[in-house]
Structure 1
Amino acid sequence: MTIAKNCVILLGLLLVIVNVSNTVASLSIPDPYLVKWYTQKVDHLDYSNRDVFKQRYIISDKHWKPNGPIFFYAGNEGDIFSFANNTGFMWENAPRFNAMNLFMEHRYYGESLPYGNKSFNELKYKGYLTVEQALADYAEFVTEFKQHTPGARDSPVIVIGGSYGGMLASWMRMKYPHIVIGALAGSAPILQFPGIYNCSQYYEIATKSFENYSPLCSSSIRKSWAAMRRVAKTDEGRSWLTNLFRLCNPLTEDTVNEFISFVSSAWDSMAMTDYPNPASFLQPMPAYPIKVACSYLTTPNADDHSLIKTIYSASSVFYNYTGTVQCNNIAQTGGSLGDLAGWYFQACTEMILPICSNGVTDMFEPNEWNFTAYSKGCYESQGVYSDRMKALILFGGKNIKSASNIIFSNGLRDPWSAGGVLESLAPSLLAIKIPGACHHEDLRFTGPNDPKQLLDARALEIKTLKSWLTTYYTENRIDNPAKNNELFYKMG
Structure 2
Amino acid sequence: MKSLKIKIQMLLKLFPIIIVLVMFLKGSKSDTIYSLETRYIDVPVDHFSAMGSYKTFKLRYLLNGKHYIKGGPVFIYTGGERDITIAAQNTGFLFDIAPIFKAMLVFVEHRYYGKSLPFGNASFSTTENLRYLSTTQALADFSFLIDDLKGKIFENVTSSKIEPFIAFGGYYAGMLSAWLRMKYPFSVRGALTSSAPIFYFPGLTTCEGYYQIVTDMFEKHGQEQCVKTIKLGWDIIINQCKTKLGMDLISSTWKLCNKIRTPEDVNALLDWLANIYVKLSMTNYHYPSDYYKPVPAYPVKIFCEKLTTTFASDTKGLIQSFANALEVYTNYTGKTICNNIYHKQEDFNEIAWQYQTCTELIMPKCSTDNDMFITKQWNYTQFVLECYETFGAKLGPDWALLAYGGKNLQYYSNILFSNSMLDPGSWGGVYMNKSNETDESLMTYEIIDAPHLVDLRGSDTADNNYLVQARNVYVSTLKKWLKLE
Q: Deviations over 1:189-231 (max 9, x none)?
A: 1111111111111111111221223110000100000111111
Supply the distance in 2 between the matched residues of 1:89 and 1:22 (Cα, whole angstroms): 25
Residue in 1 aligned with 2:338? Answer: 327
5 Å-filtered alignment, 1:461-480, equals: 461-470=474-483
Supply the distance in 2 between the matched residues of 1:311 and 1:288 (Cα, whole angstroms): 18
1:305–1:27 distance in 2 versus 1, CA, 3 Å:
farther
- Match of residue 45, structure 1, among 42, 45, 48: 48
How far residue 152 of structure 1 moved from its aligned partner, in angstroms, is 8.7
Kept after mapping to 1: 8 A contact 2:30/2:36: no
In the alignment, residue 236 of structure 1 is paired with which amino acid? L
Q: Deviations over 1:62-111 (max 9, x none)?
A: 11111210000101111110011000011111111000000111000101
5 Å-filtered alignment, 1:142-221, equals: 142-151=146-155, 153=157, 155-212=163-220, 213-221=222-230
- Match of residue 384, structure 1, among 364, 383, 393: 393
Q: Deviations over 1:295-324 (max 9, x none)?
A: 022276722221122222222212221111
Residue in 1 aligned with 2:454? Answer: 441
5 Å-filtered alignment, 1:40-439, equals: 40-49=43-52, 50-151=54-155, 153=157, 155-212=163-220, 213-254=222-263, 255-298=265-308, 302-332=313-343, 334-358=344-368, 360-424=369-433, 426-427=435-436, 428-439=441-452
Q: Deviations over 1:361-381 (max 9, x none)?
A: 101011211010001000111
1:221–1:31 distance in 2 versus 1, CA, 3 Å:
closer
Q: Deviations over 1:303-360 (max 9, x none)?
A: 222112222222221222111111111012x3233212211110110011011112x2
Supply the distance in 2 between the matched residues of 1:27 and 1:116 (Cα, whole angstroms): 21
Supply the distance in 1 between the matched residues of 2:27 and 2:280 (Cα, whole angstroms): 19
How far residue 156 of structure 1 moved from its aligned partner, in angstroms, is 0.5
Kept after mapping to 1: 8 A contact 2:240/2:247: yes
1:301–1:370 distance in 2 versus 1, CA, 3 Å:
farther
Larger RCO: Structure 1 or Structure 2 (Cα < 8 Å, ≥ 6 residues apart)? Answer: 1
Supply the distance in 2 between the matched residues of 1:230 and 1:399 (Cα, whole angstroms): 47
The number of aligned residues is 459
Kept after mapping to 1: 8 A contact 2:29/2:85: no
Supply the distance in 1 between the matched residues of 2:181 and 2:283 (Cα, whole angstroms): 27
Supply the distance in 2 between the matched residues of 1:419 and 1:273 (Cα, whole angstroms): 20
Q: Deviations over 1:171-196 (max 9, x none)?
A: 00011111100001111111111111
Gaps of 5+ in 2: 9-21
TM-score (norm 1): 0.89
Kept after mapping to 2: 8 A contact 1:292/1:317: yes
In the alignment, residue 192 of structure 2 is paired with which amino acid? L
Supply the distance in 2 between the matched residues of 1:390 and 1:279 (Cα, whole angstroms): 36
1:206 partner SS: helix
Kept after mapping to 2: 8 A contact 1:185/1:408: yes
1:199 partner SS: coil
Kept after mapping to 1: 8 A contact 2:78/2:110: yes
In the alignment, residue 393 of structure 2 is paired with which amino acid? V
How far residue 25 of structure 1 moved from its aligned partner, in angstroms, is 6.7
1:222 partner SS: helix
Kept after mapping to 2: 8 A contact 1:233/1:253: no
Higher alpha-carbon deviation: 461-470 or 245-254: 245-254
Higher alpha-carbon deviation: 192-201 or 389-398: 389-398
In the alignment, residue 64 of structure 1 is paired with which amino acid? Y
Residue in 2 aligned with 1:479? Answer: none
Supply the distance in 1 between the matched residues of 2:192 and 2:388 (Cα, whole angstroms): 35
2:418 partner SS: strand
Supply the distance in 2 between the matched residues of 1:22 and 1:316 (Cα, whole angstroms): 23
Kept after mapping to 2: 8 A contact 1:36/1:58: yes
**Residue 36, structure 1, aligned to residue 24, structure 2:** no
Q: Give aligned-pair identity as a percent.
A: 38
2:417 partner SS: strand
Higher alpha-carbon deviation: 27-36 or 243-252: 27-36
The two structures, once aligned, show a CA RMSD in angstroms of 2.2
